[in-house]
Structure 1
Amino acid sequence: MSDPIEIEESNAQFLAAWIHLSQSLPGRRVEHTDGVSVVLSGTDMVMLNAATLSSPATDLQDLERRARRAVELARAGGVPWLFALSDSWSPGGDGGAAAELLGRLGFDPAVSLTGMVADAIAPQRRAPSGLDLRRVADAETRAAIADLNAVAYSVPIPAGRASVAHEALWGDRGFGRVGYVGDQPVCSAATFIVEEIRYVGFVVTTPEHRRKGYAEAAMRSCLDDALSATGIQRTVLHATDIGRPVYEGMGYRAVTRFAFYTPPQA
């Protein structure tokens, strides 16, 4: 059974990271009310627009009330968004019952992520060859990491560039790497210092270059960059099903599952 403190941490890091990733954007909107937190980037980068619970739901009636409130708050932002719910914060920790309720309310399952944590990263097992890892430090590399993530999440390139490529995101608390094969960007990863934890995101690899260790190499590089700059060891992320085995091999352990839902149609 997961440690309740780590469950709280994973939920807190999810919310704090989403706030951090949108903080420099001119159209951002953050609101905490009625047990619901809404973070909207003001762009069409749907994965950066989320509504979630501010605390565990006490019962299904409480979850229904807060889900309906989330729709009211997020819909007013005028951008695509997702409702995120940790299984551990579902009533009684029952993600299945929560999913059934949300389905009746018109929410559709979209994707699931696993909150993971590590106190230290395991040594690298293999270093890929032919990969040029470049820091996210200029307009070209910012556009590259934005485009890689936009394609991975099936959103328009302009939406990615309006959010992920925003220069202010990559200040002294952001450490990104893009991996190139020749002149072609093929993978990316980033580490942000969020509430004194190394938070990892934007980890993607183009389909034709998967299973070569590229994303892990990019991730290790930006984790090392953040460690060298800050000395912070602990690290948290929210993993896709594709990425989870890679992270487990690096020493991360699963804490809680987050289910993401598309909201009911207006």
Structure 2
Amino acid sequence: MKHRGKILRDTNTGPGLLSSDGVQHPFTLESHWKSDIPPKVGMVVDVTFDPAGGLGMLMPVADSQLAREQAELAVQAARARSGELAAGMTARFGVPTMLAMAALVAGWFVLNTIAIQMSAQFGMGLTFWKILGMINSPAGLLMGLDGGSGGGSSGIYGVMCIVALVAPLAPQFWKDKRAHLGGLLPLAFMLVIALMIYLGINDGLKQAQGVAGFMGGNNASRMAEDVSSMMLREAMRAISIGAGGYLSLLASLYLAGRGAMKFLAARA
């Protein structure tokens, strides 16, 4: 059976010395060392023992192998830590709440909130987070439509998004009945963003009609209104709600309902 050991003394001035499982063993090049690379102090080696427990062969372990093993240990430790953290949060906040929070995270940051079918061959999707960036920085719209991962910075809307995301957990940290109202923030935030998008589109259409009326009178204004309405209808046909939109809506409705009931129960 192989064990790991570390060279404590090389063989330049006599027998070498290694430590394995807390026990030190002398070794020689002729009897034990099985490599073209000479032993060095601090070198990690694979050690075998004979049936009687005597020292057998010594083979150095490659640096790449050590790095791979250390990476695997780090991943295992991270998984164990994340598992403990998830278990602790589940015990503290409850399984339904954590599932709803996980669904909200997936709906806002991973899955597409809306899908845009620009042509029969080309379509794209936007997450809720990316939509916030486009609202905050309209110039980033071109980058988003170009298929890049960028778009504008979410700015203040990103801060509000994070606040709304963690707000349902407020009752665990703020012992006030009003803390339960934090469960309503994700739904309220989504509704506000939807309203902003609607008002922005409506304002853009009105501005276009106003410019046309100023330049060409009432006939041009009516024509601009007809064209704008047609463009809006075509745009709405191309846009559909994605899985992220439905998932985050359901999650936010659950959190809002739970928060409202908790608040009313606390007031009673």
TM-score by length of 2: 0.24
By relative contact order (CA 8 Å, sep 6+), the higher-ranking structure is: 1
Higher fraction of strand: 1
Q: In proportion to residue count, which structure has more helix?
A: 2
Per the normalisation by structure 1, the TM-score is 0.24
